[in-house]
Amino acid sequence: MNRQGTHWRYARREDGFGELVIDVAGRSANVLTPEVLEELLALLEAVREDAPPGLVLRSGKPSGFIAGADVHRFAPLPPRDEVLAFIHLGQRAADALEALPFPTLALVRGFCLGGGLELALACDYRIACDDERTRLGLPEVRLGIHPGFGGTARLVRLLGSLPALQLMLTGRTLRARPAQRVGLVDQAVPERLLEVAAAELLRRPPAKHRPSRWARWSALPPVRPVLGAWLHRQVARKAPRRHYPAPHALIDLWVRHGGRFRDLLAAEAESVADLVTGETAQNLVRVFFLQERLKGLAKGREHGIAHVHVVGAGVMGGDIAAWCALRGLRVTLQDQDPERIAAAVGRAAALFRKRLRDPRRVTAALDRLVPDPDAAFAGHADLVVEAIFEDREAKRRLYAVLEPRLKPEALLATNTSSIPLEELATVLQRPERLIGLHFFNPVAKMQLVEVVRGAHADPGAIERGLAFVRALDRLPLPVASRPGFLVNRVLMPYLLEAVELVEEGVPPELVDHAARDFGMPMGPIELADTVGLDICLHVAEILGEAFGLAVPDRLRALVEDGRVGRKRGRGFYTWRRGKPMRHRLPRPDPARLGELQERLVDRMLNEAVACLREGVVADADLLDAGMIFGTGFAPFRGGPMHYAQTRGVEDLETRMHDLAARYGARFLPDDGWNRLRRQPG
Amino acid sequence: MARDDTTCRLKRPVYLVDGARSPFLKARGRPGPFHAADLAARTAIPLLLRQPFEPGALDEVILGCVMPGPDEANIARVVALRIGCGERVPAFTVQRNCASGLQALDTAARHIADGCADLVLAGGVEAMSHAPLLFGAAFAAWLGQWRRARTLPARLQALARLRLSALAPVIGLLRGLTDPVVGLSMGQTAENLATRFDIRRRDMDAFAMRSHHRLATAQHTGRFDGEIVLLADTEGKAHFLDDGVRPDTHLEALAKLPPAFDRPFGRVTAGNSAQITDGAAWLVLASEEAVARYDLRPLARVLDTQWAGLDPAQMGLGPVHAMAPILARHGLDSPDIDYWEINEAFAAQVLACLRAWQDPAYCREVLGLERAFSPIDEARLNVDGGAIAIGHPVGASGARIVLHLARVLAREGGRLGMASLCIGGGQGGAMLIESTQERQA
């Protein structure tokens, strides 16, 4: 029997086994929509009647297996019953697959995530391709939900409670071999043996994987509440319940229904329907789409860059060079000081070992990172990244020497964090090829790169910059060349307000606690110490000059005192072994905490509005994306502008006038708020 | 049988275009920061980056290496792939002990001269600090029994047969530096020469001291700029100079060292012998056509090479046996050669060569020449120091001395240069080159 549907096809293979192929029409990756699931349900009926001796489920797309349920289903928000119907449809499809009376096997290559893995879990066996691209996981928590197509119940049944919960709570994805180790897949085989392994397994089906005895023991009714309480505490450290309800809902589900498969199935559907309609999930889905938008900015554009030459092997230059080499580019790293180059290579080696693991690939990456102490190789590069110290004249002198040696089509990028490009471009014969690529520290962790467009820049150069940032697996944000660009500019008033608070006598621990309680990944005082107070002061002075920002005396005094933060062991905090020494605080009064948060966040919002008014970024969504991916601005709040809309523009303005009356003119609402008021969110 | 001069000479011109080497890193009792393939690859990558052709344009890669690591079978191919030559450029490894690097250059030159290649990357490498520790034959035999013993009693029996002495590792490096036929260590062959030519300990030490002082001066005056590439290790340490140099060494200090090979009466010490070192050196060799096609600016031209065999117990005299036929073929005497590089395996060995070279009896009786050569001017020999100060990564030294000789000729405006090495096992190798720098002037 052969069946050809819109998204699925079914046929008997030469060896007699049935083959069910998903190839969702009009998409580059397979995603599960109601339509796709309906078609699967109908087709499974026919497959059951065909009664092959075994069934292989696979993808017809080179990009991967199944990327998950279609996230577009959840934005804009449909009514709860519609969401629930979709979840039930997914569960019915998985149930039907599981109920087939012959052995079934999912053959996984590439991404197998979320709903995709939930379908694979409904098969008797899973074989995964042991290659670089293959990843399996249930990352739903990252979108503020948890698995709902039966994945919660089936993963617990397959792996045992703790391993299953760990996988779902972290949203971690696994390669084939680790997946085999935990029991998520039955075999991890190289691509050349996928077909052979599938046929072998179906011909002689072994016993299905079961969790170990102690894993089953952890699911006993008396154990679950104890283990659950412990899990809640673990999770709350990173994701407190009131900010991130999904992982906690998942733990609750398991405590309540962990022993009974059918009950858990029914409960997980209801729980996901509740979560999807909640504010956190909606904001996290928003963040997901913001990320897609940034990725899309570079879509279909060529960068034509194979060789990157980095000038300046300091922390930023060295780490940019290392990241480029990690991503497969040939990199030459120029610095007058061989020791600085070597230190950068040493850091790169640690990064490569951590990311690549395989010693052969580490060696290859190190081979790609070539020291250039004699400034010999700039002329070979397709892109030159300048990352020397923040000094306009030094940069201009460098460009004057560098430019005549560049290939005609080579791009020149500066990693300046504050100097407007127009001031640098004047020394160039061809200023149109200068762009800004502003990476953030640490390069290996920060996803955002600001792609800075000076007045002189060629649009083609900007497009190549965007595409290049994508090729580095970073998120490009186009910004105008205004002092501080977007991220530093919006962050600085927030940091300065924090310093102001400390000057007023608020303990730094309390300031940081307030910010983390709001949802920031790190408090502003700790952040300032980590970045280095000298660097903060430098940027603050540039921004202060440009926008009339007052720089607190305390900051200057500390820097003059040599207390520049973590790197010296002393700043606002005293640092030991890379950790700030914090004093214990009495439990803070919620009203006080709220006021601190308001002062910190409102200054950030005010500056964000000013940036929008000046056109530093094109729109509010891009601004939100920049602050979330550039600073970790509380993702569950959907970004600063989204947060402002949620709080209400007019309320905010009133509050800011109040604050201005009490604390000074820096809180006066920017003119840009007028425009926001006229077009409510 | 005497070689026919007309059949063996290079049939087409062969040019040494450019070259680079790694800093030579003294072995310090544990494996150094780089494997042999790392040294070779990370030296070749910047060298190739500065060429006007792509690595894939090379016709072949030839690398000399005495003891590649266990993951480096045919190390030349491993390196060729790592430096971006692509899968279609063939590569092979050559081994002639201490002259493996020179062998690579000779083979490359002959392939070019014969018209089989136009552009070849050739050199040598050795990571002596990574030389393996081996299990002895007794332990290997026991291991075989152990694997066959399946039952507990059989295993206990096997265990009872194991002798602790069998566990003593064999140090691969020491074995490699001992002549397997006559059973003498290389240092002992140098003692033989010291006796034969009556070379005093003090002369050896003075020679060693001069080598260190010359290297220190060369380092200070930037004579290695453009020759040595910067290597950065995974600990974040920079290596850009030969680190075995002792700029402040003096005769009293050298005199205190005990004999290293023939105790207690020998004269050859660690101080007047070449150092155990890790390093790599490369040269790009090209035909006239390749020079024209890529508009290359050659450093020098290869005029001739010679290999010779002699008594393994006197292997240190190898350079005399290899250089003599070249000078004879070209009708030259010592003063015609502007600069010399004779590898300093041992001070005693180089001094012995200098004596034999001008010794009428030796030249007549052993080399069959009518008369001796004029003395070699030591001011023109190893002008920037030699292996005693720089180190002698056995596979790499041949390529290093040719590279440096070509650069010395260019720097000093000399025309002819002779590079030669003694070879463990009783051989010598030599290469005569001619500077091409004045052609550009």
**Closest Cβ–Cβ partner in B42, B49, B236 for A343:** B236
Query: Which residues face B309 on adjacent strands?
Result: B427
pLDDT tens figures, A115-146: 999 999 999 999 999 998 999 999 999 999 99
Chain A CB contacts of B280 below 8 Å:
none
Of B440 and B406, the structure prediction assigns the larger pLDDT to B406
Q: How many Cα atoms are found within 13 Å in the side-chain-facing hemisphere of A509?
A: 10
pLDDT at A117: 98
Rounded to the nearest angstrom, the minimum Cα separation between A364 and chain B is 7
DSSP per residue, A247-287 = HHHHHHHHHHHTT-HHHHHHHHHHHHHHHHTSHHHHHHHHH
**A339 burial level (CB within 10 Å; 0-12, 13-18, 19+):** middle
* B positions 15-44 inside 8 Å of A (CB): 38, 41-42
**Closest Cβ–Cβ partner in B82, B229, B235 for A367:** B82
Chain B CB contacts of A407 below 8 Å:
none
* A positions 362-421 inside 8 Å of B (CB): 363-364, 366-367, 370-374, 376-377, 380
Q: Do A346 and B235 touch (CB under 8 A)?
A: yes
State CA A6 to chain mean position distance.
33
Of the residues A340, A360, A366, A372, the best mutation for testing chain B's interface (the one with the most B CB atoms within 10 Å of its CB) is A366
Q: Do B230 and A341 touch (CB under 8 A)?
A: yes
pLDDT tens figures, B330-358: 999 999 999 999 999 999 999 999 999 99
Rounded to the nearest angstrom, the minimum Cα separation between A337 and chain B is 10
Interface check for A334 against chain B (CB to CB < 8 A): the answer is no
Interface check for B166 against chain A (CB to CB < 8 A): the answer is no
What domains, with CATH codes, occur in chain A?
A: 3-277 (3.90.226.10), 307-482 (3.40.50.720), 488-615+648-678 (1.10.1040.50)
Of the residues B230, B237, B241, B243, the best mutation for testing chain A's interface (the one with the most A CB atoms within 10 Å of its CB) is B230
Tokens of A454: 């000076």
Nearest residue in chain B measured CA to CA from A336: B230
Interface check for A310 against chain B (CB to CB < 8 A): the answer is no
Q: Do A345 and B236 touch (CB under 8 A)?
A: yes
pLDDT tens figures, B281-330: 999 999 999 999 999 999 999 999 999 999 999 999 999 999 999 999 99
CATH no. for B186-225+303-433: 3.40.47.10
Of B121 and A277, the structure prediction assigns the larger pLDDT to B121
pLDDT tens figures, B74-125: 999 999 999 999 999 999 999 999 999 999 999 999 999 999 999 999 999 9
Interface check for B82 against chain A (CB to CB < 8 A): the answer is yes
How much is the average pLDDT of B243-259?
96
Chain B CB contacts of A329 below 8 Å:
none
State how far the alpha carbon of A650 is from the alpha carbons of A597, A607, A612, A657, A669, in Å. 18, 17, 17, 11, 11
Nearest residue in chain B measured CA to CA from A367: B42
Tokens of B299: 């450093």
Query: Which residues face A308 on adjacent strands?
Result: A331, A383
Residue B432: what are its φ and ψ, rounded to 5°? -105, 125
Q: How far apart are CA B124 and CA B431, in angstroms?
A: 15
SS3 A487: helix
Q: How far apart are CA A668 and CA A603, in angstroms?
A: 9
pLDDT tens figures, B389-422: 999 999 999 999 999 999 999 999 999 999 999 9
How much is the average pLDDT of A638-647?
95
pLDDT tens figures, B126-182: 999 998 888 888 888 888 888 888 899 999 988 888 888 888 888 888 888 899 999
Under a CB-based contact definition with an 8 Å cutoff, are residues A581 and A512 in contact? no
Q: Do A377 and B229 touch (CB under 8 A)?
A: no
How much is the average pLDDT of B361-387?
96
SS3 A593: helix
Average pLDDT for chain A: 94
Interface check for A309 against chain B (CB to CB < 8 A): the answer is no
Q: Do A370 and B49 touch (CB under 8 A)?
A: yes
pTM (predicted TM-score): 0.93
DSSP per residue, A295-319 = HHTTTT------EEEEE--SHHHHH
Residue of A468, A435, A460, A425 lying closest to A320 (CA atoms): A468
pLDDT tens figures, A473-524: 999 999 999 999 999 999 999 999 999 999 999 999 999 999 999 999 999 9
Give the number of other Cβ atoms within 10 Å of residue B337's Cβ.
Answer: 22
Interface check for B237 against chain A (CB to CB < 8 A): the answer is yes
The verdict on whether A438 is a catalytic residue reads yes
pLDDT tens figures, A559-604: 999 999 998 899 999 999 989 999 988 888 999 999 999 999 999 9
pLDDT tens figures, A549-562: 889 999 999 999 99
Of A571 and B438, the structure prediction assigns the larger pLDDT to A571
pLDDT band at B439 (very low <50, low <70, confident <90, very high): very low
Interface check for B46 against chain A (CB to CB < 8 A): the answer is yes
**Closest Cβ–Cβ partner in A345, A346, A376 for B50:** A376
Interface check for A347 against chain B (CB to CB < 8 A): the answer is yes
